[in-house]
């Protein structure tokens, strides 16, 4: 290991199974690199389906007692975990930036976001109430219990290496489930730091296991084939989500999916343009445009498009690009060369079909996977950038003539995760919010994520909701008990 945090006890290179730090059975390791510099940070156990099977066995064993723990006991451990994570915010944030690339300020805010799920679900654990139903027969009493579903397998992406894990694991553990987590191979260190802090917080052995590995298919197969796994929760691409859902069908496993987006960001003619520019920057360029809820298509009323474009380009041109560890950086590198190539292809396709580049458009002079914050104008629906999820720092602007047309363009996609719109009219606020076919709608804001509210998509953007009171219910089974009392 050769990086600033190498001696921190939060940095671990082995998987975490049944409360033990464990090498891969095969002895294999995988590289973890800093996307800002390309430097090798360390090597981490490259676990396989067999290792995942051991983790599932440990989780199943732990479930036999964890499911009978008191809600107050589970709440106490989650509270400790939340406190320890917040106490270690700086170290975990630096680790996160080192392996993921986002600016340190964003990593700090992700650590707080991740910790917030632990706090929220420590409280929700105590409110998983059942029901007593009015009976249909005087000799009987009817009761509904909520019980934990069992072992949960989670598969999470590299864009939020801490928060995507805690958004699944905290409600699962709060409900009395046990978990095997497969983090993204690019960002295992943050996941292993969470496991380290979980152990310190008092999680019993086997309640939370981490299986890092390159062979996502082998680990996912272990999850979908093993009868001990009752549920899978996945955040990632729609294509992979469909495969997992099909695989879950074989044994009728529960599945929650948080998949790709294609978020419209609509600016009506009465919008406060200064506020719209700020929201557009936050929504589009957070995490270098690599979030599922990033604004993907800017739809601007033709009457205000020039005014918006000039303000927006001025703000985008001021964004500073660089290594996320350097103070004052707004945009880090993209995660990989492949991600950069996709963005380049979308830009050249758009330019061939008539779009113009208002700023950026190219790789950054810093080299590697740094890319210039980019704004495209005169975009139309025939361009790839208007229909595909970009997952990069490119803001394509198209225009509309009426509210109906804006809503029609916005809804013309199989994705339905997040949508944003700016208007000062209350009447339009209701009309547009009700018509947008999206699970999350931001009105006059570009930032919508919080542990308090349900996060999830419609159509092919996913199934189920994470966060909020709703986010814990997916980790529970309902059991109806009919009791003859006389």
Taking CB under 6 A as the criterion, which residues in 23-52 touch ligand SIN? none
Write down the least CB distance from residue 153 to ligand SIN, Å: 18
Residue 107 is a binding residue for ligand SIN (CB under 6 A): no
Q: Which of 374, 410, 365 is nearest to 392 (CA)?
A: 374
Taking CB under 6 A as the criterion, which residues in 213-252 touch ligand SIN? 235
DSSP 286: G
* Cβ atoms of 114 and 213 closer than 8 Å: no
- Tell me, residue by residue from 258 to 287, as one string, x for binding to ligand SIN by CB under 6 A and - for no binding: x-----------------------------
Is 206 or 333 the residue whose CB approaches ligand SIN more closely? 333
Write down the least CB distance from residue 455 to ligand SIN, Å: 6
Within 8 A by CB and 6+ apart from 216, the residues are: 155, 182, 185, 240
DSSP 371: B
Beta strand 40-45 with 29-33 is antiparallel
- Classify residue 5 as exposed, middle or buried by CB count within 10 Å of its CB (0-12, 13-18, 19+): middle
124, two tokens: 């929700």
Q: Which of 478, 104, 481, 173 is nearest to 328 (CA)?
A: 104
Phi and psi dihedrals of 41, rounded to 5? -85, -50
Residue 449 is a binding residue for ligand SIN (CB under 6 A): yes
Is 291 or 399 the residue whose CB approaches ligand SIN more closely? 291
Strand ranges inside 248-382, DSSP E: 254-258, 263-267, 295-301, 356-359, 374-377
| Cα 402 from chain centroid (whole Å) | 33
Q: How many CB atoms lie within 10 A of CB 132?
A: 9
Is 190 or 449 the residue whose CB approaches ligand SIN more closely? 449
Write down the least CB distance from residue 82 to ligand SIN, Å: 17
Write down the least CB distance from residue 291 to ligand SIN, Å: 4
Of 258, 389, 451, 460, which is the active-site residue? 258
- Tell me, residue by residue from 141 to 170, as one string, x for binding to ligand SIN by CB under 6 A and - for no binding: ------------------xx----------
Write down the least CB distance from residue 158 to ligand SIN, Å: 10
15 - beta bridge partners? 22
What span, in angstroms and rounded, lies between the C-alpha atoms of 79 and 198?
10
Catalytic site includes residue 123? no
* Cβ atoms of 215 and 136 closer than 8 Å: no
Write down the least CB distance from residue 467 to ligand SIN, Å: 8
Write down the least CB distance from residue 452 to ligand SIN, Å: 12
Find the residue with minimal CB distance to ligand SIN: 449
What span, in angstroms and rounded, lies between the C-alpha atoms of 205 and 78?
15
Residue 346 is a binding residue for ligand SIN (CB under 6 A): no
Q: In what order do the strands lie in the sheet with 20-22?
A: 20-22, 15-17, 208-210, 178-182, 151-155, 229-235, 254-258, 462-463
Total number of residues binding ligand SIN (CB under 6 A)?
8
Taking CB under 6 A as the criterion, which residues in 50-79 touch ligand SIN? none
Is 46 or 460 the residue whose CB approaches ligand SIN more closely? 460
Of 248, 292, 294, 359, which is the active-site residue? 292
Taking CB under 6 A as the criterion, which residues in 285-344 touch ligand SIN? 291-293
Residue 139: C-alpha distances to residues 482, 483, 485 (Å)? 10, 8, 6
Residue 73: C-alpha distances to residues 37, 197, 208, 221 (Å)? 44, 17, 15, 33
Is 370 or 391 the residue whose CB approaches ligand SIN more closely? 391
Is 80 or 235 the residue whose CB approaches ligand SIN more closely? 235
Write down the least CB distance from residue 71 to ligand SIN, Å: 26
Is 22 or 283 the residue whose CB approaches ligand SIN more closely? 283
Q: How many CB atoms lie within 10 A of CB 231?
A: 25
Catalytic site includes residue 434? no
Hunting for tokens 């704004």 — which residue is that? 375
Is 106 or 199 the residue whose CB approaches ligand SIN more closely? 106
- Residues with a catalytic annotation lie at 258, 292
Chain residues that interact with ligand SIN, rule: CB under 6 A:
159-160, 235, 258, 291-293, 449
């Amino acid at each position: 290991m050769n990086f600033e945090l190498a001696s921190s006890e939060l940095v671990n290179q082995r998987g975490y199974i049944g409360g033990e730090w464990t090498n891969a059975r095969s002895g294999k390791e995988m590289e973890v690199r800093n996307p800002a510099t390309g430097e090798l940070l360390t090597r981490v156990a490259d676990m396989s389906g067999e290792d995942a099977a051991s983790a599932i066995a440990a989780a199943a064993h732990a479930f036999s007692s964890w499911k009978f723990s008191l809600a107050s006991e589970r709440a106490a451990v989650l509270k400790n975990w939340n406190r320890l994570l917040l106490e270690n915010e700086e170290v975990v944030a630096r680790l996160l930036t080192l392996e993921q690339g986002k600016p340190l300020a964003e990593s700090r805010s992700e650590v707080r976001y991740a910790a917030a799920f632990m706090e929220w679900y420590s409280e929700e654990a105590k409110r998983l109430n059942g029901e007593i139903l009015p009976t249909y027969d005087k000799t009987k009493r009817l009761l509904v219990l909520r019980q934990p579903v069992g072992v949960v397998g989670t598969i999470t992406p590299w864009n939020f290496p801490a928060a995507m894990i805690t958004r699944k694991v905290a409600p699962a553990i709060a409900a009395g489930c046990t978990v095997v987590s497969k983090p993204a191979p690019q960002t295992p260190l943050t996941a292993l730091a969470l496991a380290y802090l979980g152990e310190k917080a008092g999680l019993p052995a086997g309640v939370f296991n981490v299986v890092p590995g390159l062979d996502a298919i082998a680990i996912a197969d272990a999850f979908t084939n093993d009868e001990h796994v009752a549920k899978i929760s996945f955040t990632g691409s729609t294509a992979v989500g469909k495969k997992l859902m099909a695989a879950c069908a074989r044994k009728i496993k529960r599945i929650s999916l948080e998949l790709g987006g294609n978020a419209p960001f609509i600016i009506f003619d009465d919008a406060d343009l200064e506020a719209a520019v700020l929201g557009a920057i936050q929504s589009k360029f957070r995490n270098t445009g690599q979030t599922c809820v990033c604004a993907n298509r800017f739809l601007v009323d033709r009457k205000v498009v020039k005014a918006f474009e000039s303000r927006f380009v001025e703000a985008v041109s001021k964004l500073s690009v660089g290594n996320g560890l350097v103070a004052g950086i707004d945009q880090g590198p993209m995660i990989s060369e492949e991600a950069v190539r996709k963005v380049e292809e979308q830009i050249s396709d758009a330019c061939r079909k008539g779009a113009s580049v208002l700023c950026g458009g190219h790789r950054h002079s810093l080299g590697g996977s740094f890319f210039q914050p980019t704004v495209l104008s005169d975009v139309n629906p025939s361009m790839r950038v208007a229909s595909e999820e970009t997952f990069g720092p490119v803001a394509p602007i198209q225009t509309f003539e009426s509210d109906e047309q804006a809503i029609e363009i916005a809804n013309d996609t199989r994705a339905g995760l997040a949508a944003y719109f700016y208007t000062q009219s209350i009447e339009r606020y209701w009309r547009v919010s009700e018509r947008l076919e999206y699970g999350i709608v931001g009105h006059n804001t570009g930032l919508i994520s919080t542990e308090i509210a349900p996060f999830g998509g419609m159509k092919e953007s996913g199934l189920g909701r994470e966060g909020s009171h709703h986010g814990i219910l997916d980790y529970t089974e309902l059991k109806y008990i009919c009791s003859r009392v006389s």
